[in-house]
Amino acid sequence: MAGAAAAGLCVAGPAEAVPAPHPPPQGRHVVYRRSSHGRRASRAVKIRNANLRYKTKHAADDPAHPGDTSRIVPIDISQETFSRWFGQGAHVVDLRKLHARR
């Protein structure tokens, strides 16, 4: 009987280990960035990861070079920020080129 229970855990375990994605709170949007946290990365990759934001996960699948092992990380942003970054139909925004409004 204990063997059957253990076998059931092995079969159901990995399928339940992945949590279902939660939608962002009302008035928020999910966008993506690349992260090299905890990994070896060149200076160019670190600078690129710090400054680029992507509208979709597919757009974020754009490594700096073949050796870039950065992963794609979702972030929540406000409706106002989303409109400012992606309002003109862009899929990638470079934060270095945004100008502060007064």
Give residue limits of the domains in the chain.
24-95
Pairing mode, strands 28-35 and 92-94: unpaired
Does the predicted TM-score (pTM) go above 0.75? no
So what's the pLDDT on residue 65? 87
**Quick one: tokens of 48?**
């690129």
Q: What is the pLDDT of residue 102?
A: 46
Place of tokens 């090299």: 36
The pLDDT tens digits of the residues spanning 10-66 come to: 454 444 555 555 666 677 889 999 998 888 888 999 999 999 999 999 999 989 888
Closest CA to 72 of 96, 85, 53, 93: 53
